[in-house]
Structure 1
Amino acid sequence: MAKVRAKHANCSVVGCTDEHRTLFRVPASEKTREQWVRFIFSGNPPETASKNLLVCANHFKPECFRNLGQYKAGFASKLFVNEGAIPTERGKAADEGNMAVSQMAVQMTCNRISSNWMRASTSVRFADAACQTDPPITCSWMKTHTPPFRSTGVPVSCTDVGVDSSAVRASGPSRKRPRMDLEEEEEEEKLFKGGSEDPHDVTHDPLHSLTSTQSTDVTTEPSIPIHKMSKYIVYENCLLELFEACPRCRRASRPKTRTMGTFLRVEQNCPHCDFSRTWNSQPIIGSVPAGNLQLTAAVYTSGASFLTLEKIFQAMNLQLCKYTTFRRLARRFIEPAIVYRWRTMQDATLEQLISHRQNVMLAGDMRTDSPGHSARYGSYTVMDLRNKKIIDLQLVQSNEVAGSCHMEMEGLKRSLALLEERGVTLNSIVTDRRPQIQRFLKETRIKHYHDVWRLEKRLSKKLVLISKNKDCAILKKWIHSIKHHMYWTAASSASGPERVAKWTSILNHIRDVHVHEDPAFPRCLHAPRTSRDKSKWLKAGTEAFIKVEKALTNKRILKDVEKMSPHHQTSSLEAFHSSILRFAPKTAVFPFLGMLCRLYLAAMHFNENAGRPQATSSTGELLYRLNLPKSKKGEFSMKPVKVDPTYDYVDELMDLIFGKVFEDPGPYEAEVQKIPIPDDLSAQFEKPDKMEVIASYVSRFNQGLV
Structure 2
Amino acid sequence: MATPMKVPRLSAGRPKVSSSTKKRRKKATQISINRSRIVIGEQIDRWNALKTDIDAKTNAEVAKVLLDKYYGPGPVAGGSIEQQPGPSKVETAYRKKMALPSYTSTPAASHRLQLLKEQQYESSAESSISGVEPLASSSHASASDSPRHYSPEKKVPPGYSTSFMDPFELSIDVYEESNSEPEIDEDEDYEPSFDIFIGPVNENISEASFAEEFFSEEKEDDVEEEPDVEGVKRMQTSDEAAKLSDEQMFLCSGEALLTLSRMSVKDTCNSCSKPVDFQKKIRGSAVYFKWVCEDGHVSFSWCSQPLLRGGVHSGDLMVSSAVLFSGNNFQKISLFAKFLNLAMVSSSSYSRFQTTYLVPAVETFWSSHVENILETKRGEEIVILGDGRMDSPGHCAQYCTYTVMDNNTKQILSVVTVDKRETGKSSVRMEKEAFVRTLHHLDTENVKVGEVVTDAHTSIAAYLRNEYPQIQHSFDIWHVAKNLAKKIMKAGQQKQCGGLKGWCRHIVNHFYHTCDSARDVEEFTGIWFGLLHHIVNEHEWNFGCGSNITKCVHGPLTEPREVEWLSKGSPAHNALRQIVADKRFLKQIPYFLNARSTAELEGFNNLILMYAGKRFSYIPPVYRARNLIAAIDHNSHLERPSVINKDGTERVHKIFNKKSSRWLIRPVKEQKKYDYRKGLMELVLRMRMEEKGSMFKPVVLKADDPRRISSTISQVAPPPTDQLKKEQVSRFTK
TM range (shorter): 0.5 to 0.7
The question of whether the paired residues in 2 share the 8 Å contact of 1:362 and 1:429 is answered with yes
Q: Does 1:368 align with 2:396?
A: no
1:701: Cα distance to partner? 4.0
1:500: Cα distance to partner? 2.6
Cα distance in structure 2, aligned partners of 1:505 and 1:144: 87
One of 502, 511, 532 as aligned partner of 2:527: 502
Cα distance in structure 2, aligned partners of 1:597 and 1:302: 12
One of 48, 53, 77 as aligned partner of 2:7: 77
Cα distance in structure 1, aligned partners of 2:389 and 2:534: 38
Cα distance in structure 1, aligned partners of 2:548 and 2:449: 29
The answer for the alignment partner of 1:285 in structure 2 is 308
The question of whether the paired residues in 1 share the 8 Å contact of 2:269 and 2:276 is answered with no
One of 345, 350, 365 as aligned partner of 2:374: 350
Q: Does 1:406 align with 2:437?
A: no
The question of whether the paired residues in 2 share the 8 Å contact of 1:258 and 1:264 is answered with yes
Q: Does 1:647 align with 2:577?
A: no
Per-residue CA shift, 1:589-637, capped at 9, x if unaligned?
A: 100001010011111111111232222113321011112110112x222
Aligned residue for 2:385, secondary structure, equals: strand
Per-residue CA shift, 1:173-209, capped at 9, x if unaligned?
A: xxxxxxxx9xxxxxxxxxxxxxxxxxxxxxxxxxxxx
Q: Does 1:608 align with 2:636?
A: yes
1:520: Cα distance to partner? 5.4
Per-residue CA shift, 1:346-365, capped at 9, x if unaligned?
A: 2122222213x22x111111
The answer for the alignment partner of 1:149 in structure 2 is none
Change in Cα spacing, 1:568 to 1:244, as seen in structure 2 (3 Å) is farther
Change in Cα spacing, 1:273 to 1:75, as seen in structure 2 (3 Å) is farther
Q: Does 1:380 align with 2:367?
A: no
What is the TM-score of this pair, normalised by structure 1?
0.62
Q: Does 1:265 align with 2:288?
A: yes
Letter in 1 for 2:663: F
One of 720, 724, 727 as aligned partner of 1:689: 720
Aligned residue for 1:505, secondary structure, equals: helix
Cα distance in structure 2, aligned partners of 1:345 and 1:672: 25
1:475: Cα distance to partner? 2.5
Q: Does 1:487 align with 2:507?
A: no
Change in Cα spacing, 1:497 to 1:353, as seen in structure 2 (3 Å) is farther
Cα distance in structure 1, aligned partners of 2:361 and 2:252: 15
Q: Does 1:304 align with 2:234?
A: no
The question of whether the paired residues in 1 share the 8 Å contact of 2:278 and 2:292 is answered with yes
Cα distance in structure 1, aligned partners of 2:230 and 2:601: 65
Q: Does 1:421 align with 2:444?
A: yes
Aligned residue for 1:651, secondary structure, equals: helix
Cα distance in structure 2, aligned partners of 1:534 and 1:243: 85
Q: Does 1:464 align with 2:495?
A: no
Cα distance in structure 2, aligned partners of 1:279 and 1:369: 46
Q: Does 1:317 align with 2:341?
A: yes
Per-residue CA shift, 1:373-414, capped at 9, x if unaligned?
A: 111111111111111111111111112114101100000000
Change in Cα spacing, 1:76 to 1:682, as seen in structure 2 (3 Å) is farther
Q: Does 1:637 align with 2:675?
A: no
Letter in 1 for 2:334: E
Equivalent runs, 1:161-200 vs 2, <5 Å: none
1:457: Cα distance to partner? 1.1
Cα distance in structure 1, aligned partners of 2:639 and 2:670: 10
Change in Cα spacing, 1:275 to 1:333, as seen in structure 2 (3 Å) is closer
The answer for the alignment partner of 1:566 in structure 2 is 594
The question of whether the paired residues in 1 share the 8 Å contact of 2:256 and 2:303 is answered with no
Cα distance in structure 1, aligned partners of 2:296 and 2:529: 99
The question of whether the paired residues in 2 share the 8 Å contact of 1:625 and 1:641 is answered with yes
Cα distance in structure 2, aligned partners of 1:271 and 1:380: 64
Aligned residue for 1:441, secondary structure, equals: helix
The question of whether the paired residues in 2 share the 8 Å contact of 1:452 and 1:565 is answered with no
What is the TM-score of this pair, normalised by structure 2?
0.60
Cα distance in structure 2, aligned partners of 1:540 and 1:434: 35
Q: Report the more deviating stretch, 372-381 or 560-569.
A: 560-569
Long gaps (5+) in structure 2 = 11-228, 232-247
The question of whether the paired residues in 2 share the 8 Å contact of 1:593 and 1:677 is answered with no
The answer for the alignment partner of 1:447 in structure 2 is 472
Cα distance in structure 1, aligned partners of 2:635 and 2:340: 36
The question of whether the paired residues in 2 share the 8 Å contact of 1:332 and 1:665 is answered with no
Cα distance in structure 1, aligned partners of 2:461 and 2:409: 25
Per-residue CA shift, 1:556-583, capped at 9, x if unaligned?
A: 2223344126353111111111111111
1:641: Cα distance to partner? 1.5
1:477: Cα distance to partner? 3.5
Per-residue CA shift, 1:7-57, capped at 9, x if unaligned?
A: xxxxxxxxxxxxxxxxxxxxxxxxxxxxxxxxxxxxxxxxxxxxxxxxxxx
The question of whether the paired residues in 2 share the 8 Å contact of 1:244 and 1:255 is answered with no
Aligned residue for 2:428, secondary structure, equals: helix
1:252: Cα distance to partner? 7.2
Structure of higher CA gyration radius: 2
The answer for the alignment partner of 1:216 in structure 2 is none
The answer for the alignment partner of 2:570 in structure 1 is 542
1:474: Cα distance to partner? 2.8
One of 627, 642, 648 as aligned partner of 1:599: 627
Query: What's the % identity of the aligned pairs?
Result: 26
Letter in 1 for 2:528: W
The answer for the alignment partner of 2:318 in structure 1 is 294
The question of whether the paired residues in 2 share the 8 Å contact of 1:246 and 1:275 is answered with no
The answer for the alignment partner of 1:178 in structure 2 is none
Cα distance in structure 2, aligned partners of 1:326 and 1:432: 39
The answer for the alignment partner of 1:657 in structure 2 is 684
Cα distance in structure 1, aligned partners of 2:392 and 2:535: 43
The question of whether the paired residues in 2 share the 8 Å contact of 1:269 and 1:275 is answered with yes
Letter in 1 for 2:400: G
Letter in 1 for 2:285: T
The question of whether the paired residues in 2 share the 8 Å contact of 1:627 and 1:638 is answered with yes
1:230: Cα distance to partner? 7.9
Equivalent runs, 1:14-29 vs 2, <5 Å: none
The question of whether the paired residues in 1 share the 8 Å contact of 2:374 and 2:413 is answered with yes
